[in-house]
């Protein structure tokens, strides 16, 4: 079984889109766990209506760890609440994961927009470096697939990290497992963070975070204010 874990806070507008994508998948042997961080909207009701298990979450790292505690599957797929998945995403992902004999993997990201410019930026600054430096510069965001035993071996996600916990999570596991980028499918990513904070601000924030992590390790101080609640944003 595949266990899909989704941290969420006030995601009543975005979760139904992701659930619809999951319902349309050809691979059906999965469970969905929503780690809810005390949402004030109908996040829990939406999750329950789709048959999801619900646990008390927190910030993303905590939500992922809490969700994993009740999983039944031996493979874990951590997803952000605002992503979309193409048809046969799960089937293609699991097939490639098995064929490459991977222990942990991440995905190419494509922004949800009709404009070509954001797609070009994603390719130049994220997708191309991710694929070119796959073995030396391991990263992951929006979606991470990992074997449960590997996740448990190092105690899950570091809940003290303020930003970039996904990147550190993958890099920490390179010594224990085989990492790869799934190339037979991709994840469609929301641009709401960029719309709220601005492209330049987001680029500088994560660029600095990467630089800081390389020199000093993960960021465990409040250098940046991490935005997790997007309930006031426009609907998708």
Give the closest residue to 132 by CA, choosing from 120, 144, 123.
123
Averaged pLDDT score across all residues of the chain: 90
- pLDDT tens for each residue of 165-201: 888 888 877 778 899 999 999 999 999 888 887 887 8
Greater confidence (228 vs 160) lies with 160
Quick check: pTM over 0.85?
yes
Q: How far apart are the C-alpha atoms of 181 and 186, rounded to whole Å?
A: 10
Residue 212 is predicted with a pLDDT of 75
- Give yes or no for residue 216 having a pLDDT over 80: no
- SS3 (DSSP) at 88: coil
Residue 226: pLDDT band (50, 70, 90) is: low
Residue 229 has pLDDT above 70, yes or no: no
DSSP character at residue 234: P
112 or 214, greater pLDDT: 112
Q: How confident is the model at residue 140 (pLDDT cuts 50, 70, 90)?
A: confident
Confidence category of residue 42, pLDDT binned at 50, 70, 90: very high
| CATH superfamily, with its number, for domain 2-216 | Spore Coat Polysaccharide Biosynthesis Protein SpsA; Chain A (3.90.550.10)
**Domain locations in the chain?**
2-216
> Can you say how many angstroms the Cα of residue 101 is from the centroid of all Cα atoms in its chain?
21
């Amino acid at each position: 079984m595949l266990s899909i874990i989704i941290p969420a806070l006030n995601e009543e507008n975005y979760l139904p889109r992701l659930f619809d994508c999951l319902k349309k998948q050809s691979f059906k042997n999965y469970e969905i766990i929503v780690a809810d961080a005390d949402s004030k909207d109908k996040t829990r009701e939406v999750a329950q209506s789709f048959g999801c298990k619900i646990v008390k979450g927190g910030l993303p790292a905590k939500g992922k760890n809490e969700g994993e505690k009740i999983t039944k599957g031996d493979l874990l797929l951590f997803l952000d609440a605002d992503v979309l998945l193409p048809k046969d995403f799960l089937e293609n992902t699991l097939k490639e994961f098995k064929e490459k004999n991977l222990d942990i993997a991440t995905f190419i990201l494509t922004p949800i927009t009709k404009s070509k410019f954001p797609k070009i930026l994603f390719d130049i600054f994220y997708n191309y470096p991710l694929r070119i430096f796959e073995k030396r510069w391991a990263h992951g965001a929006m979606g991470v697939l990992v074997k449960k035993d590997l996740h448990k071996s190092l105690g899950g996600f570091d809940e003290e990290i303020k930003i970039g916990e996904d990147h550190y999570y993958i890099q920490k596991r390179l010594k224990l497992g085989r990492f790869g980028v799934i190339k037979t499918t991709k994840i469609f990513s929301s641009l709401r963070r960029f719309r709220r904070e601005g492209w330049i601000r987001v680029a500088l924030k994560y660029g600095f975070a990467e630089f800081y992590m390389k020199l000093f390790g993960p960021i465990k101080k409040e250098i940046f204010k991490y935005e997790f609640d997007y309930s006031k944003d426009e609907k998708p």
